[in-house]
């Protein structure tokens, strides 16, 4: 068994060469993606991920070439061929091939079935450092393929032993490069409400936290985050990852807080039972 991909109606080995050189994602950076995984062999919150992917395609004015039902069947086939209980799926929808380098004619649709990335148990236990970065994403509701700022800052992050960037603009925070951000002030769980990608893990955490904490979804200032009791970030690969340092500023006492650990516990219980 081995990993495969789907591309415009065909299932091919994962290492297959695919794109022609006049694809708008290459010429103009015009493309979007999504990423999710299985738990217990079942895609996590598939309906939510599809709805977000569909919304991104609508906002980019890219017609989806397959339905949700057709895509679900493709996922099943790719999962079966992989021969692994747990896999990740990466969707990529591009502007497609364009004779004039501008016009969208027919998008290209790629689905990659991939091995799961390595977990970061040390980060979950000890927390991570992020760097504040003055930037807000263009079209933040869309999961575009544009990660220029993260790549430009990769060496700086490595030098400073930071795991990610925390975006802020005019003293208001939004998100990290690949994940959402939360903070605790006492028993109030707070997360930004604008200039963000609406993460599915973020939505899950909000649902899990509601019975236990005062949940606030609103604008958040950078100064407020820096003086929070606890901070964490959420994504498919990070779950609820504590942030214990922002630049040179230590959050709380510099260790993951009990409320964040409670969120981790609730999330673990959920995914352990997913699909059962």
- 3-state SS string over 210-260? CCCCEEEECCCEHHHHHCCCEEEEEECCCEEEEEEEECCEECCCCCCCHHH
Helix axis angle for 200-209 and 258-272, nearest 10°, is 110
Residue with token string 């004039």: 100
Phi and psi at 150, nearest 5°, equal -60, -45
Q: Tokens 């990423």 appear where? A: 35
* Residue 77 contacts residue 11 (beta carbons within 8 Å): yes
Q: Look at the alpha carbons of 133, 134, 140, 144 in this order and tell me if their dihedral is positive or negative.
A: negative
Question: Does residue 75 contact residue 90 with C-beta atoms inside 8 Å?
Answer: no
Pairing of the two strands 128-134 and 239-246 = parallel
Beta bridge partner(s), residue 91: 34, 111
Q: Where in the chain is the domain with CATH 3.20.10.10?
A: 121-272
State how far the Cα of 193 lies from the Cα of 57, in Å rounded to an integer.
21
Q: Tell me, what's the pLDDT at 121?
A: 78
Q: Which residues contact 34 (CB under 8 A, 6 or more apart)?
A: 49, 52, 53, 56, 90, 91, 143
Q: Which two tokens mark 178? A: 């690949």
69, 73, 76, 80 alpha-carbon torsion, rounded to 10°: 180
Query: According to the model, what pLDDT value does residue 120 have?
Result: 79
Show the tokens assigned to 150.
């993260």
Q: What is the pLDDT of residue 41?
A: 96
Every domain of the chain with CATH number 3.30.470.10 lies at 4-114
Choices 3.20.10.10, 3.90.550.10, 3.90.76.10, 3.40.47.10: CATH for 121-272: 3.20.10.10
Neighbours of 5 (CB within 10 A): 21
Using 70 as the pLDDT threshold, list the residues of the chain that sit under it: 119
CA dihedral 225, 227, 231, 233 (to 10 degrees): 20
CA distances from 76 to 4, 50, 81, 82 (A): 12, 15, 9, 10
pTM of the model: 0.95
Q: Which fold has domain 4-114?
A: D-amino Acid Aminotransferase; Chain A, domain 1 (3.30.470)
């Amino acid at each position: 068994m081995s990993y495969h991909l789907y591309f415009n109606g065909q299932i091919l080995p994962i290492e297959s060469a695919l794109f022609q050189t006049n694809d708008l994602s290459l010429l103009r950076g015009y493309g979007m993606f999504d990423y999710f995984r299985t738990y217990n062999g079942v895609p996590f919150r598939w309906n939510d991920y599809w709805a977000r992917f569909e919304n991104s395609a609508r906002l980019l004015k890219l017609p989806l070439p397959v339905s949700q039902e057709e895509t679900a069947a493709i996922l099943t086939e790719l999962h079966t061929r992989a021969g692994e209980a747990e896999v990740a799926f990466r969707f990529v929808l591009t502007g497609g091939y364009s004779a004039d380098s501008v016009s969208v004619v027919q998008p290209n649709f790629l689905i990659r079935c991939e091995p799961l990335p390595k977990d970061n148990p040390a980060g979950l236990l000890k927390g991570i450092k992020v760097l504040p970065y003055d930037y807000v994403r263009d079209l933040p509701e869309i999961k575009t393929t544009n990660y220029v700022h993260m790549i430009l800052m990769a060496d700086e992050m490595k030098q400073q032993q930071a795991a990610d960037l925390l975006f802020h603009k005019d003293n208001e925070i939004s998100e990290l490069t690949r994940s959402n951000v939360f903070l605790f002030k006492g028993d109030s769980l707070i997360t930004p409400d604008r200039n963000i990608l609406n993460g599915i893990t973020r939505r899950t955490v909000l649902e899990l936290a509601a019975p236990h904490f005062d949940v606030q979804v609103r604008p958040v200032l950078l100064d407020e985050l820096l003086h929070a009791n606890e901070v964490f970030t959420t994504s498919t690969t990070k779950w609820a990852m504590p942030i214990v340092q922002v630049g040179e500023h230590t959050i709380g006492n510099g260790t993951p807080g009990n409320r964040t650990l409670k969120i981790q516990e609730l999330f673990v219980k959920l995914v352990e039972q997913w699909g059962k």
